[in-house]
Amino acid sequence: MAAGNYRYVIVGAGSAGCVLANRLSADPACQVALLEAGEPDRRREIRIPAAFVKLFQTEYDWNYRTTKQPQLSDRELYWPRGKTLGGSSSINGQAWTRGHRADYDGWAQTCPGWSYDEVLPYFQRAERRVGSNAGGVYGTAGPQFISELRDPSPTTAAFLAACAELGLRRLGELNEPDNTGYSPTPVTQRRGLRHSASDAYLRPVRRRPNLTVLTGAHAQRILLDGTRATGVEYRDAAGVTQRITASGEVILSAGTVNSPQLLMLSGIGGADQLRTAGVEPHHDLVGVGANLQDHLACGVIVHCPKPITLVAADSPVQLVRFLLARRGMLTSSVNEAVAFVRSDPALTAPDVELVWLPVPFVGEGLTPPPGHGLTLAVEFLQPESRGDIRLASADPAEPPVIDPGYLTADSDLRGLVAGVRIAERLCDTAALRPYVGAPMAPYPGTVDDAKLETLIREYAQTAYHPVGTCRMGTDDAAVVDSQLRVRGLHGLRVVDASVMPRIVRGHTHAPTVMIAEHAADLIRASKHQPEPGPANIA
Ligand SMILES: Cc1cc2nc3c(=O)[nH]c(=O)nc-3n(C[C@H](O)[C@H](O)[C@H](O)COP(=O)(O)OP(=O)(O)OC[C@H]3O[C@@H](n4cnc5c(N)ncnc54)[C@H](O)[C@@H]3O)c2cc1C
């Protein structure tokens, strides 16, 4: 079914799109259509928590590559992005981290309504915490299951003990408003299985008569009548071009790469840039695709003298444990514990995240580990480097140009070096020493700062958290206003990770779900309000 009279047409069934489809179709009077370019999320590896790297470079992955990064030895980095129901939440590492209070209070300086105290109810509305909930940090009645790992590696307990040995702060719950400290990672799992945004928000409401979900539906451009978005043109699974109309709003939830691409394909973006790509400009909005930010990751990788790491997760014993009891190594999210630390005590919020992985994570996750080993990954949380997404051509089938501009700010490299030094100290504690063997390539062991910088340039990879390319704000370069409406147009919003003005001090799935929960209220409320004039450009 294509045409139909929908009030809302949502593009992209990822972390944000699934939330919106659920919340907006809760009103039986609203017809909602959800378009997803990928196929349904049926593959077994989506359910198996530890198997997400097996989905890399399959039909469930957009399988993007960045441009050559001059500051990273001219390497083109691999960027996986989920292409199925659940989007990236169907292939991600399942960590549920909200970030730090300061992230949202920072947003609120230019975006009213997005302070920590204002967004907290939306996190909690999403959450269904299973198990401990010290201080009532989490919501307990939402759709998204948040669990502890069922069978963490013994090395993870050693990592947590190492953090204590270095005097770091043990968090009662990882998602306290100030996340400075260490903790096991809470995960989006339900009884040992991945619980994606599709599982949480879409599957339970698929039978609603007013919700239409179209898979294999690749949106090509937004249909515009003057300054109003009226629908979407897409290619269906058979390769036929179809049109779908929205009487209320078109909502882009196609993610940080594809939402700006779709705006630009529709003539919305910097006019000169659009012309260069062969697209006739319709609405000059210079910030579309700009402000790209990501967490870059590198780490300490070592051999483990004990054969107990997740390298054995594929063994028949583990498979049987998983199939019979939903237990064992296959229930691991791979990133099993984290520490958020301040590399400088003068800071008021963490600038470095250390992520404990009881496996050697090498070759961007595409190379099989060479033997038992461990990774203590380091992410610099508040990078100053900025990149952009641009059109390669006017052809919607052609991937856009992704230039994250990694390490274009020197301070980011210094932050990573500082983080690796903390990781090395942790690996040298009494708690971890029994598990830490010789360095594993490409990590060379402790070297001086200059050599470490070279190594970072040669092997750092994405931590999979790109955000910011349809930035919310009020200045001329902002793409959406604080109600997530595309500035200067009617009936068009962007709701996904791309609207974040600044990357958070944590992973990006939970903040994206929160953004969509908040957006659902904004959209429902605006149904009853007069629309702003073309000057929703502040
Ligand atoms: C390998 C990996 C590991 C990660 N690990 C973690 C983690 O442990 N914790 C965490 O918090 N975050 C993690 N993330 C990041 C997190 O999953 C994302 O930030 C989040 O899912 C982004 O949500 P989104 O709604 O913006 O986009 P997505 O979830 O990517 O959804 C976008 C959807 O739009 C669809 N789409 C795109 N273009 C079109 C089009 N033209 N027409 C129709 N449909 C379209 C896509 O197929 C996709 O389904 C990880 C990401 C990856 C890739």
Q: 50-90: per-residue pLDDT in tens?
A: 999 999 999 999 999 999 999 999 999 999 999 999 999 99
Question: What per-residue confidence (pLDDT) applies to 2?
Answer: 47
**Is the bond into 177 cis (omega within 30 degrees of 0)?**
no
CA distance 99 to 507: 7
Which atom in ligand 1 lies closest to the alpha carbon of residue 87?
A: 49
pTM, 2 dp = 0.98
Secondary structure of residue 145 in the 3-state scheme: strand
Q: 381-419: per-residue pLDDT in tens?
A: 999 999 999 999 999 999 999 999 999 999 999 999 999
Residue 529: pLDDT band with limits 50, 70, 90: low
Residue 534: pLDDT band with limits 50, 70, 90: very low
CA distance 391 to 400: 5
Question: What per-residue confidence (pLDDT) applies to 472?
Answer: 98
Euclidean distance between the first and the last CA atom of the chain, given in angstroms as a whole number: 39
Nearest-CA neighbor of 504 among 302, 334, 346, 353?
A: 353
Using the 8-state DSSP alphabet, how is residue 200 labeled? I
Per-residue CA distances from 376 to 228, 299, 338, 457 (Å): 49, 6, 9, 17
Average pLDDT (259-280) is 98
Q: Does the CB atom of residue 38 touch ligand 1 within 6 A?
A: yes
Characterise 291 by phi-psi region: left (phi > 0), alpha (psi -120 to 50), beta (else).
left
- Using alpha carbons only, give the angle 271, 272, 274 rounded to the nearest 5 degrees: 65
Q: Which two tokens stand for residue 132?
A: 């401990």
Residue 87 CA to ligand 1 center (angstroms) comes to: 5
pLDDT for 537 beyond 70: no
CA distance 36 to 90: 13
Residue 197 CA to ligand 1 center (angstroms) comes to: 10
CA distance 282 to 270: 10
Q: Which two tokens stand for residue 179?
A: 């996340």
Residue located nearest, by CA, to atom 20 of ligand 1: 509
Secondary structure of residue 414 in the 3-state scheme: helix
Nearest-CA neighbor of 3 among 237, 235, 244?
A: 244
Sort 529 into a burial class: Cβ within 10 Å, 0-12 / 13-18 / 19+.
exposed
Place of tokens 């109600």: 483
pLDDT for 536 beyond 60: no
CA distance 459 to 240: 42
Per-residue CA distances from 62 to 9, 14, 150, 366 (Å): 22, 13, 30, 15
Q: 11-34: per-residue pLDDT in tens?
A: 999 999 999 999 999 999 999 999
Question: What per-residue confidence (pLDDT) applies to 528?
Answer: 63
Which atom in ligand 1 lies closest to the alpha carbon of residue 82?
A: 30
pLDDT for 532 beyond 60: no
Q: 114-159: per-residue pLDDT in tens?
A: 999 999 999 999 999 999 999 999 999 999 999 999 999 999 999 9
Q: 463-499: per-residue pLDDT in tens?
A: 999 999 999 999 999 999 999 999 999 999 999 999 9
Which atom in ligand 1 lies closest to the alpha carbon of residue 509?
A: 11
Average pLDDT (266-288) is 97
465 is catalytic: yes
Which one-letter amino acid corresponds to residue 294?
Answer: D
Q: Which two tokens stand for residue 506?
A: 């944590």
Catalytic residue, chosen from 195, 295, 465, 509, is 465
